[in-house]
A and B are shown apart, each in its own frame.
Chain A
Amino acid sequence: MPQDDDEDPRNGAVEANDHAHQSPLKKPRLTRPISEPDILQEFSHHQQGFARINNGSFGSCPRSVLSAQNTWHLRFLQQPDEFFFNSLRKGILESRAAVKALINADDVDDVSLVDNATTAAAIVLQQVGRQFADGSFRKNDAVIMFHCAFPAVKKSIGAYIGPAGGSVVEVRLPFPVRSNEEIIAEFKKGLERGKINGGRVRFAMIDHITSMPSVVLPVRELIRVCREEGVDQVFVDGAHSIGSVPVDVKEIDADFYVSNLYKWFFAPPAVAFLHCKNSKGLVDLHHPVVSQEYGKGLALESSWVGNRDYTPQLVVPSILEFVNRFEGGIKGIMKRNHDGVVKMGTMLAESWGTMLGSPPEMCASMIMVGLPSRLCVTSDDDAMSLRTHLRVYHRIEVPTYYQALRNEDRDPKDKDGFITGYVRISRQIYNTDEDYHRLKNAINQILEDGKICSMLPVE
């Protein structure tokens, strides 16, 4: 809440020294940690009686943060001019400072708040496009990304870089995946392909945690490989990362790093941070919505893109307050989510006779679980039908994924055939084991009824 409070843990966050960047993360209150009934209450606005195992798509926001947001909103409505002149800028700076401490950034000027990772991608790709257009990057130079990069980001690359002249190399993510080495090997091959036209790989877009299929990538090693190959700029799309894996931007050392705060860090829709290494040196990085703040640096440009509702950007201190009510703060939450999702994933795989899409150490708070081949997931439509059927008939929300066979000896199988479908289960603090048992039973029921995806009713 935006009130003064002697005990306000935000004071710790704002004043945290760089070397003690973990203090806002690790300072749970000395009073007892939040109780189970409190957690239920915080998420009582979620649809009841519904197994919500898809935190990864749209995230979640506890009541106390929504309440803080509402307080800001009301202040704006009461006297918007006063709010604009006296409160807004300060409030955004406070949020940015809290994020800076969270991610171990050097300089708060390097931390911008934007709507979401999609917006951050447009910002970064616009300047890459410019470098192709003005000749700093040549026509035979390339950009590299993973084949399973988020669809919006792929379109953004097509929109901003394609017309400007660069070529795009896509690296296929081995999936199911067994080790980091497999991924690094594919990436290295991709870098070689990028040089085929005699040019260089200028820009690499690397997911920290891929969306579909979901795997935690070895970003630190991949960036090291990029630096060895002389890649000019590395952009890490960490849409899922903050609140599910540790994020230390100095250690990761990307040129650009974005993560959504509303997915795993309890922000309301929608706010993300974009960290730019040495932003003062980046003269050509701009928010595409140009306002009076143009030219003052991305962080200031992003803090005013015309009259809008900025309340999601103002509640970061309140989120820290929430997170620090938990044992171990955000670190404790991350660990418990991870352990829980692995346990439940393993339980599902055992019940269905399938397997996990990645080893536990390559997942965070989400994991891919193979669906029984008897369901006959033969297309994206099949996968979507299953998802809709589960929502409408079983009150379960879980995203599904179809992957065609690749005709390699590694195509996954169960006792009945090839596995082509997966679910991506998420675990957040509001989930209980019951949610996943419901999913287990629903799939088993569908199989018992002898149904396959294309036969499932969806209305």
Chain B
Amino acid sequence: MDSPTTNNHNHIHTHHLNGASTISQPSKKPKLLSSSFITPAEIHEEFSHHDPSVARINNGSFGCCPASVIAAQHRSQLHYLRQPDNFYFNELKKGILQSRTIIKDLVNAKHVDEISIVDNATTAAAIVLQHTAWSFHEGTFQKGDVVLMLHYAYGAVKKSMEAYVTRAGGHVIEVPLPFPVASNEEIVREFRKALERGKSEGKRIRLAVIDHVTSMPCVVIPVKELVQICREEGVEKVFIDAAHSIGCVDVDMEEIGADFYTSNLHKWFFCPPSIAFLYTRKTPKGGSELHHPVVSHEYGNGLAVESAWIGTRDYSAQLVVPAALEFVNRFQGGIEGIKKRNHDAVVEMGEMLAQSWGTHLGSPPDMCGSMIMVGLPTSLGIACDDDALGLRVHLREQFGVEVPIYYRPPRDGEVGCVTGYARISHQVYNKVDDYHKFRDAVNQLVNNGFTCALLSG
């Protein structure tokens, strides 16, 4: 997965951000002396605002933001409040461009024009799908043309498909995915089958929406391979919903080769809520005419410029990317080091839990990033989505453990199988104790004969 070297940039892209001359903020390589790396005590301090009574093993949902980046955000906010006109005329555009430039380098995009900053992946999905709807309305796409998505696509994206694609006359096909999953081949197989279904009615497949890391259940999808298959099979455009990926898995636009790609920086890249990037690949024909749905006076100046001004708002979360990068570079190996250590730790903790409970992991280690699904003991009796939510609330309120629970319906013929999985995350602030607390909580529930049926009483 590592592909460090040459590309079209005039600087060598390595996994450590070099101090690109266009970036004035420190994006230096992490120092070579170990004594200058961030210490555990400093990490603890950076996250001292987290509720200490909670084993916070759900970084995946809402992410986290270290104190130094929060402080940078406050400074930016106060700066704006102090003299907003001056900020608007002289500082805002520059700041957003700086953030976009850093992101471009982080994700190996060719041009900064290809990087727009939006609120979150949900907004990015609306932007892409609104354009798809428009293509149906104006006749570029025919009624019945296909848009593909994964069955495990995020709930908001599914609704967006309904609102924009189905409503405009598009035919949405969902790719069923196995879970638990054992290999990439299982996913590729289902994907190919869905493509065949899509083409079988003689319609064109206009767009494939593919998660990079599915939310629930959480699995890393082999996007590079799927994009290649899409190209081979004549899928017109591919949109990768990678809400989790930056800071969690490798994100390389040239490698992956998608037309549109979005990821949240407030999940795994230490930015405050909220900021995401939407990458739109430049083609020889020019960019796709995507527009931000909130139209301002910048309309028509390109998505990146449109998104940089959607009326008066607090743009500070979009302006602190330099501070987030500075934070990340205090760690050994920078973001690469963080990703690797998170991955190794979450796998280790997942295996520890599965062993303690006598269950299994939802995917092999190489199909996970900084999150992994761990089967819950069947005696807990998770029999529906409400049970999963109820158990989650119970764990939060009675045990001080924050972890999302997934209900996995049994397939035909399956008996006594695991129906509940916990999605555990590991981020730099997590400790082994967090997972022990979770392990012990579940074991206690099992020993006490707890079942989810008790919750609805």
CA A308 – CA B156 in complex, angstroms?
A: 14
Interface residues of A in 284-310 (CB under 8 A from B): 286, 288-292, 294-295, 305-309
Instruction: Name the distance in Å between A280's Cβ and chain B's nearest Cβ.
Output: 19
Q: Are B317 and A309 in contact (CB under 8 A)?
A: yes
**Of B56, B80, B123, B293, which is in contact with the most chain A CB atoms at under 10 Å from its CB?**
B293
A288 touches B314 (CB 8 A): no
A334 to B172 alpha-carbon distance, docked (Å): 53
263-296 of chain B: CB within 8 A of chain A: 264, 266, 272-274, 291, 293-296
Q: Is the CB of A79 within 8 A of B54?
A: yes
Q: How far is the CA of A151 from the CA of B297 in the complex (A)?
A: 6
A312-B81 in contact (CB<8A): no
Chain B, Cβ-Cβ closest to A79: B51
Within 8 A of A (CB), among B48-72: 49-51, 54, 56, 58, 61-63, 65, 70
Q: Is B162 an interface residue (CB 8 A)?
A: yes
Q: Are A58 and B293 in contact (CB under 8 A)?
A: no
Per a CB cutoff under 8 Å, which of B120, B125, B162, B396 touches A81?
A: B396
CB distance B51 to A78 under 8 Å?
yes
**A159 and B295 within 8 A (CB):** yes
Among residues 109 to 143 in chain A, which have CB atoms less than 8 Å away from a CB atom of chain B? 115-119, 121-122, 125-126, 133
Q: Which residues of B contact A133 (CB under 8 A)?
A: 137
Complex Cα distance, B163 from A294, in Å, reads 8
CA–CA, A125 and B159, complex, Å: 21
Q: Which residues of B117-171 are within 8 A (CB) of A?
A: 119-123, 125-126, 129-130, 137-138, 155-156, 159-160, 162-164
For A158, A262, A305, A312, which residue has the most chain B Cβ atoms within 10 angstroms?
Answer: A305
Stretch at the interface among B83-91, B201-209, B343-351, B431-439: B83-91
Taking CB as reference atom, which chain A residue is nearest B74? A70
Which residues of A sit under 8 angstroms from B396, Cβ to Cβ?
81-82
Q: Are A270 and B402 in contact (CB-based, < 8 A)?
A: no
Cα distance A159–B131 when bound, in Å? Answer: 12
Q: Which of B432-450 contact A (CB under 8 A)?
A: none
Contact B85 A312 (CB under 8 A): no
Quick check: A290 and B159 within 8 Å, CB to CB? yes
Question: For residue A312, which residue of chain B has the nearest CB?
Answer: B314
Report if B312 contacts A (CB, 8 A).
Answer: yes
Contacts of B56 in A (CB 8 A): 79
A81 touches B61 (CB 8 A): yes
A306 touches B156 (CB 8 A): yes
Task: Check A155/B297 contact, CB under 8 A, given A46-B82, A57-B85, A81-B58.
Answer: yes
B310 at interface, CB cutoff 8 A = yes
Q: How far is the CA of A369 from the CA of B273 in the complex (A)?
A: 42
Residues in A with CB closer than 8 Å to B81 are: 45-46, 60-61, 66
- Which residues in A have their C-beta under 8 angstroms from that of B50? 77-79
Residue of B nearest to A84 (CB): B62
A262 to B81, CA, bound (A): 12
Q: Does B311 contact A (CB under 8 A)?
A: yes
Q: Please report the C-alpha to C-alpha distance between residue A78 and residue B53 in the assembled complex, in whole angstroms.
A: 10
**Distance in angstroms between the alpha carbons of A292 and B274 in the assembled complex:** 18
- Tally of contacts, chain A with chain B, CB under 8 A: 175
Within 8 A of A (CB), among B87-133: 88-89, 119-123, 125-126, 129-130
Contact with B along A78-91 (1 / 0, CB 8 A): 11111011000000
A31 within 8 A of B: no
CB distance from A388 to the nearest CB of B (A): 8
Bin chain A's interface residue count: 35 or more
Partner among A45, A156, A270, A307 whose Cβ is within 8 Å of the Cβ of B313: A270
With contacts A45-B78, A116-B312, A305-B119 taken as known, whether A294 is within 8 angstroms of B294 at the C-beta atoms is: no
* Contacting pair B88 A309 (CB below 8 A): no
Please measure, in the bound complex, the distance between the C-alpha atom of A414 and the C-alpha atom of B319, giving whole angstroms: 46
B86–A80 touching, CB < 8 Å? no
Q: How far is the CB of A343 from chain B (nearest CB, A)?
A: 24
| In contact, A47 and B82 (Cβ under 8 angstroms) | yes
Cβ contacts under 8 Å, B80 to chain A = 269
> Is A268 an interface residue when CB atoms closer than 8 A count as contact?
yes
From A52, A117, A305, A312, contact of B311 by CB (8 A): A117
> Which among A45, A121, A305, A391 is the interface contact of B85 at CB below 8 angstroms?
A391
B272 contacts which chain A residues (CB < 8 A)?
A: 309
Say whether A126 contacts B293, CB under 8 Å.
yes
**In the assembled complex, which residues on chain B have CB atoms less than 8 Å from the CB atom of A290?**
122, 125-126, 129, 156, 159-160, 162-164
Judge whether B299 is part of the interface by a CB distance below 8 angstroms.
yes
Q: How far is the CB of B299 from the nearest CB of chain A, in Å? A: 4
Cβ contacts under 8 Å, B393 to chain A? 85
B121 near A306 with CB under 8 A, answer yes
**Nearest B-chain residue to A159, judged by Cβ:** B295
A342 CA / B219 CA spacing, docked (Å): 64
A42 vs chain B, min Cβ distance (A): 12
Pick from B84, B85, B122: contact of A306, CB under 8 Å: B122
Which residues A39-92 have CB closer than 8 A to chain B?
A: 45-47, 50, 52, 54, 57-61, 66, 74, 76-82, 84-85
**A122 CB, min distance to chain B CBs, angstroms:** 5
CB of A152 within 8 Å of the partner chain:
yes
A292 touching B159 by the CB < 8 A rule? yes
A119 touches B163 (CB 8 A): no
Q: Separation in Å of the B64 CB from the closest CB of chain A?
A: 8
Q: B312 near A58 (CB under 8 angstroms)? A: yes
Contact present for B312 and A292 (CB under 8 Å): no
Cβ of B83 and Cβ of A47 under 8 Å apart? yes
- Taking the complex as formed, is A397 at the interface, i.e. its CB lies under 8 A from any CB of chain B? yes
CB distance from B351 to the nearest CB of A (A): 25
B70 A81 Cβ-Cβ under 8 A = no
Contacting residues, chain B, for A235 (C-beta < 8 A): none
**A291 pairs with B156, CB closer than 8 A:** yes
**Which one of A74, A122, A270, A295 lies within 8 Å of B312 (CB-CB)?**
A270
Partner of B296, one of A47, A59, A152, A397: A152
Most buried by A among B50, B61, B88, B311: B311
**Cα distance A126–B164 when bound, in Å?**
12
A156 to B, closest residue via Cβ: B295
- Which residues of chain A are within 8 angstroms of B155 by Cβ–Cβ distance? 291-292
Are A260's CB and B274's CB within 8 A? no
Q: Does A160 contact B (CB under 8 A)?
A: yes
Q: With A152-B311, A269-B313, A312-B314 in contact, is A397–B119 under 8 Å at CB?
A: no
Question: How far does the alpha carbon of A309 sit from the alpha carbon of B54 in the complex, in Å?
Answer: 22
Residues in A with CB closer than 8 Å to B78 are: 45
A residues less than 8 Å from B63 (CB atoms): 80, 307
24 contacts between A and B (CB under 8 A): A45-B81, A50-B83, A54-B85, A57-B88, A66-B81, A79-B50, A79-B54, A81-B62, A81-B402, A115-B294, A118-B310, A119-B294, A159-B291, A159-B295, A160-B295, A163-B138, A269-B80, A269-B313, A288-B130, A290-B129, A291-B156, A307-B122, A307-B266, A309-B314
- Not counting A45-B81, A79-B56, a sample of 5 additional A-B residue pairs whose C-beta atoms are within 8 angstroms of each other reads A118-B312, A163-B138, A269-B312, A290-B163, A397-B83
- 7 nearest A-B residue pairs (beta carbon): A306-B122, A118-B311, A288-B293, A80-B62, A58-B84, A306-B120, A116-B311
